[in-house]
A and B are shown apart, each in its own frame.
Chain A
Amino acid sequence: QKEVEQDPGPLSVPEGAIVSLNCTYSNSAFQYFMWYRQYSRKGPELLMYTYSSGNKEDGRFTAQVDKSSKYISLFIRDSQPSDSATYLCAFFSGGYNKLIFGAGTRLAVHP
């Protein structure tokens, strides 16, 4: 079993749709849960992070963590064409030096 599972997509939605992106993980030592966004031919950039179970909201983006199910989600409301990118979930444990990334989900929002 992979440490992190993320559906690579691609996911294509119309402008204004609500988008749901998800990852599952197996390592219960993970303490920090992150979403990175990667535009084409660019490096990933941190979009959101959360430390505990529950929801965290930032504008049109909501990150959700369910530690009991080892499941994290990113919701994008009122999606825009500028949201078209690859979204990677990432996990960090205080005992490690490295982030563990999912494969990334390619999202295309069409006008």
Chain B
Amino acid sequence: GAGVSQSPSNKVTEKGKDVELRCDPISGHTALYWYRQSLGQGLEFLIYFQGNSAPDKSGLPSDRFSAERTGGSVSTLTIQRTQQEDSAVYLCATHRPGPGSWTQYFGPGTRLLVL
């Protein structure tokens, strides 16, 4: 597709359940980021993938959060044993690294609500 797509667009789950959020990047964009946006807060960096390099996981808030990127394309963010404080919008962004090229293109996000 022409842009970054994310699914599902909305997810309601019960506390303690696991959820998987998916991101389909723009073709050719080797860098992929996950962010979390809570109400009234800025975008909080979670994890960064670049090509075949080890991901930068420094933003993951706890070991309940994990992400993978298969074949350098689609990425899945998994939250295990969800808690109410995990409720937020989860945004994926991608870009094609290069000299002077760092503009990130965002998907529409997945709205997660943990009851």
Bound complex: CA of A36 vs CA of B79, how far in Å?
27
The yes or no answer to A75 lying at the interface (CB within 8 A) is no
Is there an interface contact between B106 and A43, defined as CB atoms closer than 8 Å?
yes
The yes or no answer to B21 lying at the interface (CB within 8 A) is no
The yes or no answer to A46 lying at the interface (CB within 8 A) is yes
The yes or no answer to A11 lying at the interface (CB within 8 A) is no
Least distance between B12 CB and chain A CB atoms (Å): 16
Q: Which residues of B from 14 to 57 have beta carbons under 8 Å from A?
A: 31, 33, 35, 40-43, 45, 48, 50, 56
- Range of interface residues on B (Cβ < 8 Å): 20 to 34
The yes or no answer to B104 lying at the interface (CB within 8 A) is yes
- The 0/1 profile, CB within 8 Å of A marked 1, for residues 93-115 of chain B is 10000000011111111000000
Is there an interface contact between A98 and B4, defined as CB atoms closer than 8 Å?
no
B contact set with A: CB distance below 8 Å: 4, 31, 33, 35, 40-43, 45, 48, 50, 56, 59, 91, 93, 102-109
A contact set with B: CB distance below 8 Å: 4, 6, 8, 32, 41-46, 49, 88, 92, 97-104
